[in-house]
Every structure is written in structure tokens, then in C-alpha cells.
């Protein structure tokens, strides 16, 4: 009578070794995956800002002026109103890139209005306060004349749009410590679009403090 061949099995020690190896590989892979995702978001963010630049230039070419900023967070255009503490950018404390660019198809999707890192970190109503900050103002706060720089007239290299701009301790909600700059190894940097269409990765906090000593 023939015997069935003996089927080998892992011993407990062998299983523990396999688990240990998998754990070590996971410890190596997870930080690398996280870093890769941050770098991908940073690149996508820069691409978003380039698309916004082309949309703003096209809008100005068609209408002979740049659009005013949206002043209130939400899914509707708000170029004629401002609600302090509930702005569409910079954790609610800044005016944002206007949705008219999406509604008039200068941008093909509202996803262009948000840094992808902010889209990952915030959802729903909270996300609505993290649109790209825009160097223009809503109509009720002066429009182009109420902006920190007049993008209609200034031809020098000024910032146009940026990821966050206002540090948490300068915002309307300083308790929101999860509102950090989206890029860089130390998460202290933001992408900034300049008036000459250049996108640059900048130290957001240092830049802000330099402008507001």
C-alpha cells in the first residue's frame, strides 16, 4: 500500500521569522510611500497653480480684468461678499480663487481650486476654508484696490495664488493646529504662483513674518 507524500509545514519559528521580515519591510516601505505621496501632491499642486494662471490670464483676455476673489467659504460664487472668519482660503482667514473660473469653464473642475494635500486632510465644510489664497479681494472689501498688491496694475513679480499663506497663529482659528503648511519635508512650505506665471516652493511662515514684522 503506497503512502501519500508527506506535506511539509512551517514551524512556529519559521512563521515568526516570516512575520518579522514582513514587519521590517513594512517599516521601510510605509515612510517611503508617505514621502512619495507628499512629493506627488506637491507636483500636482504646482500643476494646479499653473492651470489657475492660464485660467486667470484667459479671463483677463476676455473681460479686460482679473476676476475678483470669493470672500466666503462654500460651493457658490461669493465675489460680492465677505464673512470674516469664514473665508474660502487660509483656514478661513483669506479670500480665495473665485469659482467663476470653474463656472465659466476656464477651469474644467473645482479640484483645481484646492491643494491636493488639503483635499486629503480636510473634507466637507472644513475643506471649503482651504481653497488657494488669491491676491485679490472680494467686491465688498475693495476689489483690486483692497488687495495687498494690485494685480491689475503691478507688473513686477508679486504673488498671485498660494496654498495657505496665513500661519495658524495668525488665522481666525488658531486652535486648529492641524492646519499646517502642505509641502516640504518638515511641512513648512507652500507652492506659490507669481504674476509672471512662475510657481515656486516657499517657506510659508518665514515669508509671512517677513511681510508682517
Closest CA to 72 of 58, 61, 64, 82: 82
- At 165 the pLDDT is 83
Tens-place pLDDT, residues 49-104: 999 999 999 999 999 999 999 999 999 999 999 988 899 999 998 999 999 999 99
Per-residue pLDDT averaged across 160-169, rounded? 83
Closest CA to 137 of 198, 64, 88, 210: 88
Q: Which residues contact 78 (CB under 8 A, 6 or more apart)?
A: 70, 71, 72, 88, 138
Per-residue pLDDT averaged across 109-124, rounded? 95
Q: How confident is the model at residue 45 (pLDDT cuts 50, 70, 90)?
A: very high
Q: Which residues contact 132 (CB under 8 A, 6 or more apart)?
A: 48, 49, 52, 89, 96, 97, 113, 114, 115, 161, 162, 163
Residue 177 has pLDDT above 70, yes or no: yes
Tens-place pLDDT, residues 12-43: 777 777 777 777 776 776 666 777 888 899 99
Contact 179, 171 (CB under 8 A): yes
**pTM: predicted TM-score of the whole model, two decimal places:** 0.81
What percentage of the chain reaches a pLDDT higher than 70? 86
Least confident of 14-28, 129-143, 149-163: 14-28
Q: How confident is the model at residue 150 (pLDDT cuts 50, 70, 90)?
A: confident
Q: How confident is the model at residue 47 (pLDDT cuts 50, 70, 90)?
A: very high
- At 207 the pLDDT is 72
The domain segmentation of the chain, as residue ranges, is 40-211
Q: Which residues contact 207 (CB under 8 A, 6 or more apart)?
A: 192
Amino acid at each position: 500500500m503506497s503512502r501519500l507524500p508527506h506535506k511539509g509545514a512551517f514551524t512556529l519559528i519559521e512563521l515568526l521569522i516570516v512575520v518579522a521580515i514582513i514587519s521590517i519591510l513594512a517599516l521601510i516601505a510605509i515612510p517611503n510611500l508617505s514621502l512619495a505621496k507628499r512629493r506627488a501632491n506637491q507636483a500636482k499642486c504646482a500643476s494646479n497653480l499653473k492651470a489657475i494662471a492660464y485660467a486667470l490670464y484667459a479671463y483677463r483676455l476676455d473681460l479686460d480684468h482679473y476676476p475678483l476673489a470669493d470672500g466666503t467659504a462654500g460651493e457658490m460664487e461669493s465675489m460680492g461678499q465677505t464673512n470674516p472668519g469664514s473665508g474660502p482660503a487660509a483656514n478661513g482667514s483669506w479670500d480665495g480663487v473665485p469659482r467663476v473660473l470653474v463656472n465659466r469653464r476656464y477651469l474644467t473642475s473645482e479640484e483645481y481650486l484646492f491643494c491636493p494635500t488639503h483635499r486629503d486632510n480636510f473634507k466637507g465644510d472644513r475643506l471649503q476654508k482651504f481653497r488657494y489664497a488669491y491676491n485679490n479681494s472680494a467686491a465688498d472689501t475693495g476689489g483690486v484696490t483692497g488687495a495687498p498688491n494690485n494685480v491689475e496694475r503691478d507688473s513686477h513679480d508679486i504673488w498671485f495664488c498660494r496654498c495657505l499663506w496665513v500661519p495658524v497663529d495668525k488665522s481666525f482659528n488658531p486652535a486648529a493646529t492641524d492646519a499646517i503648511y502642505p509641502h516640504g519635508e518638515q511641512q513648512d512650505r507652500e507652492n506659490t504662483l507669481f504674476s509672471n506665471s512662475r510657481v515656486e516652493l516657499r517657506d510659508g511662515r518665514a515669508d509671512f513674518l517677513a511681510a508682517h514684522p
